[in-house]
Amino acid sequence: MNGRMLQCTVWLARGVKALLGRTAAAPERADLIIVPGAAVWPGGRASPALERRVLMACALWEQQVAPRIAVSGGVVMNPPEEAVVGAGVARRAGVPESALLLETHATNTVGNARHVHELAPVQHVVVVTDDFHVARAGLIFAQWFAKVDVVSCRSPRRWRYAGREVIATLWFALRGAA
């Protein structure tokens, strides 16, 4: 088994644990917390997925897991950018502007990782995403950052997306680097 497939297998196992509600240990202190974007609803409202990801990131920030939160995502379905809407959620939760980094160009998970790395080329990140997205997000962010921890949020639609995510994770692992 080559290194990339081994890494994929490890992330898939972590993803299964997240889907089953078996949470990983609290992440070590990191350089940055990253929230990959999720949908913005009509009228510029945060979708439940975006809101739950950002609020989890805010809780980790309050626990001093990292000094800053990067909210990533451009306009995918509805304006404004996912990062702008997510940052609004973080501000309302008490995170100061000085602790926020906005990445407003990404339209997918690879773009989230690449663009945040361009803005903040740090070593250790904590990625906050939905449970069904843990494996693919971990595998992708590991291409850009030396150490990646993924914290999952419990999605009520996890089983709806789980199969698609397994296929997407394997596809990403097989097709090569991002």
Average pLDDT of span 48-67 = 96
d(CA 107, CA 137): 14
- Split at pLDDT 50, 70, 90, the class of 18 is low
> Which secondary structure element, helix H or strand E, spans residue 101, and what is its range?
strand 100-103
Q: Is the pLDDT of residue 1 over 60?
A: no
Of 54-58, 128-132, 165-169, the range with the lowest mean pLDDT is: 165-169
Closest CA to 94 of 62, 64, 70: 62
| φ/ψ of residue 102, rounded to 5 | -105, 130
Which pLDDT does position 123 carry in this prediction? 97
Which percentage of the chain shows pLDDT scores above 70? 74
61 alpha-carbon distance from chain centroid: 14
| φ/ψ of residue 115, rounded to 5 | -70, -40
Which pLDDT does position 28 carry in this prediction? 85
d(CA 128, CA 149): 9
The answer to whether 161 and 155 have CB atoms below 8 angstroms apart is yes
What is the value of pTM for the model shown? Answer: 0.84
DSSP character for 143?
A: T
Which residue has better confidence, 131 or 35?
35
d(CA 166, CA 59): 28
Helix, strand, coil abundance in the chain, percent, nearest 5: 50, 15, 35
Which pLDDT does position 85 carry in this prediction? 98
- Split at pLDDT 50, 70, 90, the class of 178 is very low
Residue 72 β-bridge partners: 103
pLDDT, mean over the chain: 86
d(CA 36, CA 113): 8
Which pLDDT does position 154 carry in this prediction? 83
Helices 82-92, 48-62: axis angle to 10 degrees equals: 50
| Residue for token pair 């602790």 | 99
Domains and CATH numbers, the chain: 3-175 (3.40.50.620)
Alpha-carbon Rg for the chain in angstroms: 15
